[in-house]
Structure 1
Amino acid sequence: MPADTAAWPAMTIAEAHARLTAPGQRYEMEEKVIRGIPTRTWKNAPATLREVFLNGRAFGPREFMVHEDERATFDAFARATLTLARQLQADGVGKGDRVAVIMRNLPEFPVAFFAAALVGAIVTPLNAWWTGAELEYGLTDSGTKVVLMDAERMERLGDHLANCPDLVRAYVSRLPAGAKPPAIVRRLEDVIGPVNAWTNLPDAPIPDVALEPEDDATIFYTSGTTGKPKGALGTHRNIVSNIMASGIAAARNFLRRGEEPPEVDPLTAPQRVTLLVVPLFHATGCHATLSPAVNAGGKLVFMRKWEPEEGMRLIEREKVAATGGVPTIAWQLIEHPARERFDLSSLNQVTYGGAPSAPELVRKIVETFPGSLPGNGWGMTETSATFASHLGKDYEVRPESCGPAAPTGEMKILSLDGATELAVGEVGELWVKGPNVVKGYWNKPEATAETFKDGWLRTGDLARVDEEGFCFIIDRAKDMLIRGGENIYCVEVENVLYDHPDVMDAALVGVPHKTLGEEPAAVVHLKSGGSATEAELRDWVRQRLAAFKVPVKVAFWPETLPRNANGKILKTELKKVFEEQE
């Protein structure tokens, strides 16, 4: 524990939450009965995405999005969004219809997302990494009526559009000039024009569509490891709860260190600039980044794909304050040999999730970026992104934790059969409840009944919760290894590997064994200049953990370990390394 934490914390989590949620405070709570379940909610949250959009519109000439040489103000964004909303209505899109958005991070994505939301559609962002067949599944499973996509997705989907019976129209952005798409396709630029010309669009009226907090708003498909992806059906309340949860986590950080949270007027406060690396088609990018940025007048800087030097150039040029995604990005910002060539002094928040990280990383962030707030958290598609948040000194002191839940959220630990609630500190399956837990799975009543119980969500994560409510994710229940009857939590071994000074990225997987069932094997990516050997890494783990947890093999990966769009390491891919060695 750092030496400067002796007089810290100034108050408990419960005391801080009580202060911040007291009557009359910005984060005041109220109980609502949602689908028959009493639920703590945020009293002062925007009611729907319509209110979020209107709050963003108030920032007018302030710059909102930057993508290469394209820039859009909040006013330009609003004009493009309202123009597209009017077109969607002309296409017959009404309340409850599904409108899919399939794009990489482009300025057109937020326009498409909010245009569909404003007309009452259920916005269905599909994973832009999917194949044409997978995208076809998403369109047909959701019953999408209109799809908005970029040219890359059009190339992948072209032959599949005819197999989507509910589809009446497709809009494609950035289609090459000579392209001859199917008749169902129209160029998006024919409706809203190019990004830098959005400011010249007419100021159309906002759609006259009644929206309520419990109305269906989004379908985000899970990254399930078995079977077809399931569509998590979220409401407007689910989404806007992120706005309050992220705000109260920052305010709590002030109180915990004995300071009063500043009174902030978003219209006059310095603009928060975020370098967005996570995809907008993922709940974290959309719900935890896009919606809060629109609501509070933040600026989003897009880049096609994370590349350290380009990222640092953008941080310097745009005076970026916040970025992150997965721990590897933070490590590269700290250790990249070109870092000294760039002015990164504006960067004051580096956050990540979706993968374990070494406790050492927290200390390195604070050392490298003085005054910065390292951040971590936990959430899933079914919790509409963030459920627990971990910032600043709390994270420094408990680097293995993902933080406490927001005060509207509840957590409990149950036995794996779901029958018994376990005591504080015991490891079991994490169940959560709160206003950001989705309604269920789209058109999958059996899966919904299995996962959602009386307002509680079975997360499938093994975890423990300490006396003050800090959650420690131990592993995915399905990823836990059992070696000869002994449980091995992958995250525990991975964290030890991350502590080795040469290790940049690490993952533990199970390899089959005839008598023990399975044994642990590790795949690691070394830092630039790192020279650790297999024997050295196995010995490193052996000195710190029980012998049965030591990897029987260590394989070296030439680059950052492969991840899905949610930032989770693709362990199925890594297992193939050891299959090939058999």
Structure 2
Amino acid sequence: MSGMTPEEAVAHVVATNPTFAVAPTDVDGVTFRAFQNIPPNVPALMAAGHAQHADGTLPYLLYEGERWTYAQFCAEVRRMAQVLATSFTVGPGDRVAIAMRNYPELLASVLAISSTGATVVFVNAWWTTTELHYALEDSGARLVIADGPRVERLGPLVDELGLTVIGVRDGAGAAAHSYADLLNAAQSDAPLSVAIAPDDDFAVMYSSGTTGQPKGVVQTHRGATNAVFSWLMQAVIAPLVDPPAPDAPPAPRPSALVVTPLFHVTATHPLFLLSLVAGAHITLMHKWDAAEAVRLIEAEKITRFLSVPTQSAELMEAARTAETRLETLDYLGSGGAKRPGAQVAQLAEAFPNAGIATGWGMTETNALGIGMIGDDYLNRPESAGKLHPPVQELRLLDDDGNDVALGQLGEITVKSPANMRCYLNKPEATAEVLQDGWLRTGDLAVMDAEGYVTILDRKKNIIIRGGENIACLDVEGALHRLPQVMEACAFSVPDDRLGEVVGAAVQLRAGTSLSVDEMAQALDGQIAKFKLPVQLWTQDTPLMRGATDKIDRRGLQAACLQKEKT
């Protein structure tokens, strides 16, 4: 039986499956195409997924030998929501922060906080005390759920900001409250009765920007749920485009291995939130280890692996060492950074049962965006793919806001209900990128006649190190605090493992010197370690300038990298 084209399949599903019905929807005076019959908010995804998890009886969550059925996990969410609402008076209008590594309590806390009507504030677990101070002050979050290392870093801020800290696992003894004790003492696991509108705020996620300070991306419930159902729809479309053989066995239950931080959208949205309504199993790793990932994929029959490109490359090497092809994998995707084109065919050969996939999305789009899988990707390894249907619209614009011709370079600009509501407390920055529902992303790309988008550059001065966004001005601000430095310019340096790392050129004050090790020691605790330059070029003359007398970042980068070659 021949399959439909992707466009035909989308039209068929939208027209015939009520779950994916789409209609114009007004949000704050802007009309979007949006799903009409999906759950109205993020907590409602739990109930919507109950049947997909065999009425809650199926195993749902695994961490280091600890297991939860779906019913057990949802009961924990409801108990913690009751605790937050009754013991800490958390409710609509409040913001509650989560600061921890990928523990099961992070997943439960996301849904518990949002079940109260409050907004989840995702905190980067790698941040220093100074960086945590900024995010908590900016967001106004005064209740923080944190693990041990984060409890320690929050210590100096408790009195200053008036924080209440709930300790998770190794943080329980050092915090004022223990998550486990509160959960055990909870009197009820009944669901809260709270009115949560689709356009209420679901979360604040911090994303590095060119201002040097992280920007709080405000995501709504409608944005998150529309992203989730856009991905869920892909599973419905796939067999229509590529029909299985009549005697093919049923598809296995989806099972995802989470290996990227859950304070980023790559893990929270297309893995965790999607798992609720997709009936998927979730496995969390304590810490990334490629050999352990191979073991878990085989032991737990993992079908879905979504990571930054570095991790998929390391998984491939570990699988080769273990002499396995990880035959249960049917999806191997990348997010957070572009995968090297040469790696695509290598992964397809190493994992023949897996559809090798790529995706582009942003915190500002709830991770929804562009992607492709399988032969499409193998044939176009440098491309980002096509726009995910059916609620998004895409334009490539020039600097004046005009559409560019096919094949011409333009800024990726998207309109969808999944776009952020705003940047928290930054109306000017919001106005720069959001206009009449269209989000100007800062990524420059070309599109061909078939709709495939190839990203060529970034307008933003962002370094993407293994999926972590690093603002050049953030690094430069730290370097300028060093007494030896007169001026500094940070830029990306290619790296085989991480894709990009931080490099910097600095003008030193007369009679001083500065090595990479001295710099790292001086900046210890000032910025996160992953932001520290790993290569440093020093000079006693002013840094290269352009025609407007601004530092020529690209020219300086090229000159420094050329010196490295010679």
Answer whether TM exceeds 0.5 for this pair: yes
Could you tell me how far 1:222 is from its partner in structure 2? 0.9
Separation in 2, partners of 1:85, 1:223: 30
Separation in 1, partners of 2:353, 2:244: 15
Give the alignment of 1:533-572 within 5 angstroms. Answer: none
Give the conservation status (yes or no) of the 8 Å contact 2:330–2:355. Answer: yes
- In structure 1, which of residues 212, 221, 227 is the aligned counterpart of residue 197 of structure 2? 212
Give the conservation status (yes or no) of the 8 Å contact 2:83–2:186. Answer: no
The residue that corresponds to 1:523 in the other structure is: 494
Is 1:231 aligned with 2:216?
A: yes
Q: Does the residue aligned with 2:230 lie in a helix, a strand or coil? A: helix
Separation in 2, partners of 1:459, 1:61: 42
Could you tell me how far 1:119 is from its partner in structure 2? 0.6
User: What RMSD over aligned residues (CA atoms) do the two structures have, in Å?
Assistant: 3.4
The residue that corresponds to 2:483 in the other structure is: none
Separation in 1, partners of 2:98, 2:530: 24
Q: Does the residue aligned with 1:411 lie in a helix, a strand or coil? A: strand
Give the alignment of 1:101-500 within 5 angstroms. Answer: 101-165=98-162, 167=163, 169-175=164-170, 179-181=173-175, 185-193=176-184, 204-257=189-242, 270-336=252-318, 339-342=321-324, 344-405=326-387, 406-415=389-398, 417-479=399-461
Give the alignment of 1:28-107 within 5 angstroms. Answer: 28-58=21-51, 59=53, 60-90=56-86, 91-107=88-104
Could you tell me how far 1:323 is from its partner in structure 2? 1.1
Cα distance change on mapping 1:520 and 1:448 into 2, 3 Å: closer
After TM superposition, the score normalised by the length of structure 1 is: 0.76
Give the conservation status (yes or no) of the 8 Å contact 2:232–2:278. Answer: no
Q: Does the residue aligned with 1:469 lie in a helix, a strand or coil? A: coil
Residue identity opposite 2:64 in structure 1:
E
Separation in 2, partners of 1:470, 1:391: 12
Separation in 1, partners of 2:171, 2:531: 37
Could you tell me how far 1:392 is from its partner in structure 2? 1.9
Separation in 2, partners of 1:393, 1:261: 22
Separation in 2, partners of 1:262, 1:28: 31
Offset from partner CA, 1:257-304 (integer Å, 9 cap, x none): 46699999xxx9743111101111111211221111122221111112
Give the conservation status (yes or no) of the 8 Å contact 2:259–2:284. Answer: yes
Residue identity opposite 1:206 in structure 2:
P
Cα distance change on mapping 1:34 and 1:357 into 2, 3 Å: same
Separation in 1, partners of 2:266, 2:18: 27
Name structure 1 gaps, 5 residues minimum.
Answer: 1-6, 194-199, 481-489, 495-508, 510-517, 528-568
Separation in 2, partners of 1:171, 1:399: 45
Give the conservation status (yes or no) of the 8 Å contact 2:146–2:171. Answer: no
Give the conservation status (yes or no) of the 8 Å contact 1:425–1:464. Answer: yes
The residue that corresponds to 1:485 in the other structure is: none
Separation in 1, partners of 2:258, 2:41: 23
Give the conservation status (yes or no) of the 8 Å contact 1:250–1:391. Answer: no
The residue that corresponds to 1:576 in the other structure is: 536
Separation in 2, partners of 1:108, 1:388: 31
Give the conservation status (yes or no) of the 8 Å contact 1:105–1:303. Answer: yes
Give the conservation status (yes or no) of the 8 Å contact 1:414–1:420. Answer: yes
Give the conservation status (yes or no) of the 8 Å contact 1:353–1:377. Answer: yes
Cα distance change on mapping 1:258 and 1:24 into 2, 3 Å: closer
Q: Does the residue aligned with 1:156 lie in a helix, a strand or coil? A: helix
Q: Does the residue aligned with 1:389 lie in a helix, a strand or coil? A: strand
Cα distance change on mapping 1:521 and 1:161 into 2, 3 Å: closer
Separation in 1, partners of 2:373, 2:142: 41
Residue identity opposite 2:400 in structure 1:
G
Cα distance change on mapping 1:122 and 1:260 into 2, 3 Å: farther
Cα distance change on mapping 1:468 and 1:50 into 2, 3 Å: same
Q: Does the residue aligned with 1:336 lie in a helix, a strand or coil? A: helix
Identity of aligned residues (%): 35
Could you tell me how far 1:10 is from its partner in structure 2? 5.7
Separation in 1, partners of 2:535, 2:495: 12
Separation in 2, partners of 1:228, 1:431: 23
Name structure 2 gaps, 5 residues minimum.
Answer: 466-471, 473-488, 499-528, 540-559
Could you tell me how far 1:475 is from its partner in structure 2? 1.6
Separation in 2, partners of 1:471, 1:309: 34
Residue identity opposite 1:54 in structure 2:
A
Cα distance change on mapping 1:430 and 1:570 into 2, 3 Å: farther
Q: Does the residue aligned with 1:77 lie in a helix, a strand or coil? A: helix
Offset from partner CA, 1:527-562 (integer Å, 9 cap, x none): 9xxxxxxxxxxxxxxxxxxxxxxxxxxxxxxxxxxx
Q: Does the residue aligned with 2:286 lie in a helix, a strand or coil? A: coil
Cα distance change on mapping 1:323 and 1:398 into 2, 3 Å: same
Separation in 2, partners of 1:86, 1:277: 30
Cα distance change on mapping 1:577 and 1:332 into 2, 3 Å: farther
Cα distance change on mapping 1:26 and 1:526 into 2, 3 Å: closer
Is 1:16 aligned with 2:9?
A: yes
Could you tell me how far 1:376 is from its partner in structure 2? 0.7
Residue identity opposite 1:226 in structure 2:
T
The residue that corresponds to 2:507 in the other structure is: none
Cα distance change on mapping 1:365 and 1:253 into 2, 3 Å: farther
Could you tell me how far 1:94 is from its partner in structure 2? 1.1
Q: Does the residue aligned with 1:144 lie in a helix, a strand or coil? A: coil
Name which of structure 1's ranges 571-580 and 288-297 shifts more when overlaid on structure 2.
571-580
Give the conservation status (yes or no) of the 8 Å contact 1:251–1:261. Answer: no
Could you tell me how far 1:57 is from its partner in structure 2? 4.3
Name which of structure 1's ranges 273-282 and 388-397 shifts more when overlaid on structure 2.
388-397
Count matched residues: 486
Residue identity opposite 1:404 in structure 2:
K
Give the conservation status (yes or no) of the 8 Å contact 1:413–1:427. Answer: yes
Could you tell me how far 1:309 is from its partner in structure 2? 0.8
Cα distance change on mapping 1:56 and 1:172 into 2, 3 Å: farther
Separation in 1, partners of 2:289, 2:116: 37
Q: Does the residue aligned with 1:218 lie in a helix, a strand or coil? A: strand
Cα distance change on mapping 1:474 and 1:163 into 2, 3 Å: same
Name which of structure 1's ranges 200-209 and 351-360 shifts more when overlaid on structure 2.
200-209
Cα distance change on mapping 1:55 and 1:72 into 2, 3 Å: same
Give the conservation status (yes or no) of the 8 Å contact 2:210–2:461. Answer: no
After TM superposition, the score normalised by the length of structure 2 is: 0.78
Offset from partner CA, 1:337-395 (integer Å, 9 cap, x none): 75435572212211002222233322222222223211111101100112122122222
Cα distance change on mapping 1:219 and 1:522 into 2, 3 Å: closer
Residue identity opposite 1:125 in structure 2:
F
Could you tell me how far 1:201 is from its partner in structure 2? 7.5
Q: Does the residue aligned with 1:49 lie in a helix, a strand or coil? A: coil
Give the conservation status (yes or no) of the 8 Å contact 2:319–2:325. Answer: no
Give the conservation status (yes or no) of the 8 Å contact 1:48–1:211. Answer: yes
Residue identity opposite 1:383 in structure 2:
T
Could you tell me how far 1:520 is from its partner in structure 2? 10
Q: Does the residue aligned with 2:15 lie in a helix, a strand or coil? A: coil
